[in-house]
Structure 1
Amino acid sequence: MSRHVFPGRNGASELAIGWDRPLQSFFVQALRPHPHLDDEDETIAWHGTSLREIVTAREAVTIASHWADLPGDLAIILETDRLKTLGQSDGEHQAAMKRRLFPGQ
């Protein structure tokens, strides 16, 4: 898994974007401080939580660009993150959880 964090905008204080190898999806998560809990964040947007939900780095960057100003080469960085995981496979527990969460996949 990779995770890159940027200062947020449009109501987000922080934007996280990266590659989740077990889900085979890029993800985008916009956070802001929780209004009632000190030192806690509240998620205001979270994409890429389903199997193969966001399959291209460009799509992830497009979604994330609403919540943060991002570097121009971020899609290349994310694709490199994905490529680095090609030789990896699920462990026993990851495979069991995926069968439970995504039956028939």
Structure 2
Amino acid sequence: MSRYEFPAKEGLSTLVIGWDRPLNTFFVQVFGPAPVAGADPVEVEWQGTSPCKLPTAAHALRVARIYADLPDNLGQVLETDRLSTLGIADGLAQIALRIFITRHDRPPET
């Protein structure tokens, strides 16, 4: 897993972007300021929480650039992170968690 943190645009506090190998997705988290001193920041956006949701760095950057000014080479850095994890096998806990997430990430049937 990789994780990079950047200051977000005005009115927000932080943007986090990275690669999650077990879920085979990039992710983007955006936080606003804490509502009161000492509280956790408010989550504004979180994408890449299910398998293959953001399959390329370009997908993640498309979301992230709405919220923060990012380095020009970040896409290359993120893809390098992804490529460096190729061939790494999941452990039993990761396999079980992926099955759990996949089953619970579907909308209820009507």
TM-score between the two structures when normalised by the length of structure 1? 0.90
Paired residues of 1:10 and 1:66 also in contact (CA < 8 A): no
Task: Please list every run of at least 4 consecutive aligned residues from structure 1 whose deviation after the TM superposition is greater than 3 angstroms.
Answer: none
1:21 CA drift (Å): 0.5
- State the distance in 2 between where 1:12 and 1:79 align: 26
Q: How does 1:4-43 map to 2 (within 5 A)?
A: 4-36=4-36, 38-43=38-43
- More off after superposition, 37-46 vs 60-69: 37-46
Residues matched between the structures, number? 103
- Residue 64 of structure 2 is matched in structure 1 by 64
Paired amino acid for 1:92:
L
- State the distance in 1 between where 2:82 and 2:55 align: 10
- State the distance in 2 between where 1:3 and 1:82 align: 12
- Quote the RMSD (CA, aligned, Å): 1.3
Give the direction of change, closer, same or farther, for the CA distance of 1:95–1:37 in structure 2 (3 Å limit): farther
- Identity across the alignment (%): 46
- More off after superposition, 8-17 vs 67-76: 8-17
- State the distance in 2 between where 1:92 and 1:55 align: 23
> Unpaired runs of 5+ in structure 2?
104-110
> Unpaired runs of 5+ in structure 1?
none
Paired amino acid for 1:56:
T
- More off after superposition, 90-99 vs 37-46: 37-46
Paired amino acid for 2:3:
R
- Residue 54 of structure 1 is matched in structure 2 by 54
